[in-house]
């Protein structure tokens, strides 16, 4: 049983979840033709240079008429003069301190530069066409981004309760340190797969086979729902403290509209996509928070599947919040371009600039490969609240 006064049993809460899921699937957002489809075809063969050009010039193609580059929004404004609003807010002491507290709460802390990296103000971009969507370009400092990369690899991935797409297919070393062994290390198939299944290498997992890891509530990708809504259980373990500290410590940014309880951390490589979908498995309507690290990508978001969605250029350090009407919007990733990771991530010496702490020597040595790996990777942490408070 849950410890809250309004607690539901796991079985009854799962029934409630199934009912909510059914209602949302029958909503108007499910109707109509798929206007996302031609965009995926368009971006599939688009080079990064061509994409960059489209972001700077007024759209001359139907496929780019809703393309928004948050750093250079003039092209979008020319075509949609009344849609986009940009507000500037001062970066408060609380925001700056929250970044430092996040690093302090991390198990393997990086060597932190000056907090003056924080800009004096930050931008919040909103659109009438996608109400509730909030875009914060470049709001996470390089230190915070580097710490998140270290946390994903050394703190979030190794936890046995945090399942990945690899677990059903392979017998992963425990704890699972992605760079803790040589790349040529053989990873045998799991007992759960057929006898004809073949082994792979740790290098292959690093390159493309690792696709996602779930934090907190262990979302089931096959059933499209959470196995339980009862916290502090194996299938709903506690959410990482360090990530909670980051998201809850800066109310001026995230407006204290989410209690982080689950996250799907996606690992993208060059050319990867994510098909349009809605996040509707949670019992809460609280905001979704999407944190972007590494390579650039094109992100799609729209309230209806039969209308041209917003096409948003996302860079490392950008944060996207889906709240209000956009909480259940259709969204996806059109593609990722490799070698677009900023130098402050790809060229950073993670080995020399991370406090070793009490970690095995092989894990510390593996840090030498983080920068090169990030050169062709995009990591997206999509954080959500599962339960109503």
For a pLDDT cut of 70, what percent of the chain falls above it?
87
Is the CB of residue 325 less than 8 Å from the CB of residue 304? no
Residue 21, pLDDT > 90, answer: no
- 378: helix, coil or strand? strand
In the predicted model, what is the mean pLDDT of residues 79-107?
87
- The answer for 224, left when phi > 0, alpha when psi is -120 to 50, beta otherwise, is left
Mean pLDDT, all residues of the chain: 89
pLDDT band for position 97 (cuts 50, 70, 90): confident
- DSSP character string of 72-100: -THHHHHH-TTTEEEEEEE--HHHHHHHH
Instruction: Tell me the pLDDT tens digit for each residue of 282-318.
Output: 999 999 999 999 999 999 999 999 999 999 999 999 9
Whole-angstrom CA distances from 134 to 14, 51, 93, 274, 362 are 30, 23, 22, 20, 41
**Whole-prediction pTM value?**
0.91
Please name every residue paired with 302 in a beta bridge, in sequence order, or none if there are none. 330
- Highest-confidence range of 111-115, 195-199, 235-239, 357-361, by mean pLDDT? 235-239
The encoded tokens of residue 304 equal 């209806």
Question: Domain count of the chain?
Answer: 1
Q: Which CATH number characterizes residue 227's domain?
A: 2.60.120.590
Say yes or no to pLDDT of 232 above 90.
yes
**pLDDT single digits (tens) 146-192:** 999 999 999 999 999 999 999 999 999 999 999 999 999 999 999 87
Tokens of 112: 């932190």
Please tell me the distance from the alpha carbon of residue 102 to that of residue 384, in angstroms, as a whole number: 18
**Cα separation of 354 and 352, whole Å?**
6
Give dist(CA 262, CA 386) in Å, integer: 7
Residue 202 falls inside a structural domain: no
What pLDDT, on the 0 to 100 scale, is given for residue 111?
83
Which tens digits make up the pLDDT trace of 353-366? 988 677 889 999 99
Residue 104 half-sphere exposure toward CB, CA atoms < 13 A:
8
pLDDT at 185: 97
Helix or strand run (H / E) with residue 124: strand 121-127
pLDDT tens-digit readout, 43-62: 999 999 999 999 988 767 88
Q: Is 187 a domain residue?
A: no
- Residue 241 inside a domain? The answer is yes
Q: Please, which pLDDT band fits residue 3 given cuts at 50, 70 and 90?
A: very low
Q: Which has the minimum average pLDDT: 67-76, 133-142, 207-216, 355-364? A: 355-364
Domain that holds residue 345: 10-165+211-384
Between 281 and 101, name the one with better pLDDT.
Answer: 281
**381: exposed, middle or buried (Cβ count in 10 Å: 0-12, 13-18, 19+):** buried
With bands split at pLDDT 50, 70 and 90, how would you rate the model's confidence at 8? Answer: very low
Q: Compute the Cα dihedral for 143, 145, 148, 149 and give only its sign.
A: negative
User: Does residue 26 register a pLDDT over 70?
Assistant: no
Between 15 and 2, name the one with better pLDDT.
15
The two counts, helices (H) then strands (E), for the chain are: 12, 15
For range 12-16, the mean pLDDT = 56
Residue 261: pLDDT band with limits 50, 70, 90: very high
pLDDT given at position 31: 47
For the cut 50, the answer to whether the pLDDT of residue 5 exceeds it is: no
Give the three-class secondary structure for 242: helix
Q: Is the pLDDT confidence value at 219 over 80?
A: yes
Q: What is the H or E stretch that residue 167 is in?
A: none
DSSP string, 256-313: T-----EEEEEEE-TT--EEEE-----S--PPEEEEEEESEEEEEEES-TTSPPEEEE
Q: Is residue 191 part of a domain?
A: no
Paired residues of 133 in beta bridges = 322
Whether the pLDDT of residue 210 is over 50: the answer is: yes
pLDDT at 25: 53
């Amino acid at each position: 049983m849950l410890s809250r006064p309004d607690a539901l049993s796991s079985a009854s809460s799962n029934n409630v979840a199934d009912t909510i899921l059914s209602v949302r699937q029958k909503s108007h957002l499910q109707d109509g033709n798929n206007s996302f489809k031609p965009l995926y075809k368009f971006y599939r063969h688009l080079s990064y240079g061509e994409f960059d050009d489209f972001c700077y010039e007024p759209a001359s193609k139907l496929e780019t008429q809703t393309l928004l580059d948050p750093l250079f929004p003039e092209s979008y404004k020319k075509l949609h003069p009344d849609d986009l609003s940009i507000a500037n807010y001062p970066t408060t002491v609380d925001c700056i301190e929250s970044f430092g507290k996040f690093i302090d709460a991390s198990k393997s802390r990086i060597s932190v530069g000056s907090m003056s990296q924080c800009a004096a103000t930050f931008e919040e971009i909103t659109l009438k066409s996608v109400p509730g969507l909030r875009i914060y370009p470049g709001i996470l400092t390089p230190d915070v981004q580097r710490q998140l990369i270290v946390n994903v690899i050394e703190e979030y991935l190794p936890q046995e309760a945090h399942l990945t797409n690899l677990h059903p297919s392979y017998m992963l070393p425990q704890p699972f340190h992605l760079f803790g062994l040589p790349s040529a290390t053989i990873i045998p198939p799991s007992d759960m797969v057929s006898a004809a299944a073949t082994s792979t290498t740790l290098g292959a997992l690093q390159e493309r086979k690792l696709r996602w890891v779930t934090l907190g509530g262990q979302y089931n990708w096959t059933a499209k729902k959470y196995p339980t809504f009862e916290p502090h259980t194996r299938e709903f373990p506690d959410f990482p403290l360090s990530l909670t500290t980051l998201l809850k410590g800066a109310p001026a940014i995230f407006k204290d509209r989410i209690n982080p309880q689950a996250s799907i951390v996606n690992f993208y490589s060059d050319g990867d996509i994510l098909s349009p979908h809605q996040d509707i498995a949670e019992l809460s309507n609280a905001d979704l928070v999407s944190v972007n690290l590494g390579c650039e990508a094109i992100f799609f978001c729209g309230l209806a599947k039969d209308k041209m969605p917003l096409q948003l250029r996302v860079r490392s350090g950008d944060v996207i919040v889906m709240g209000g009407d956009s909480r259940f919007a259709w969204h996806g990733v059109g593609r990722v371009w490799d070698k677009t990771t900023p130098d402050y991530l790809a060229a950073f010496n993670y080995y020399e600039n991370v406090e070793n702490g009490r970690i095995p020597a092989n894990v510390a040595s593996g840090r030498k490969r983080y920068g090169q790996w990030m050169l062709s990777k995009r990591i997206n942490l999509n954080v959500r609240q599962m339960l109503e408070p």
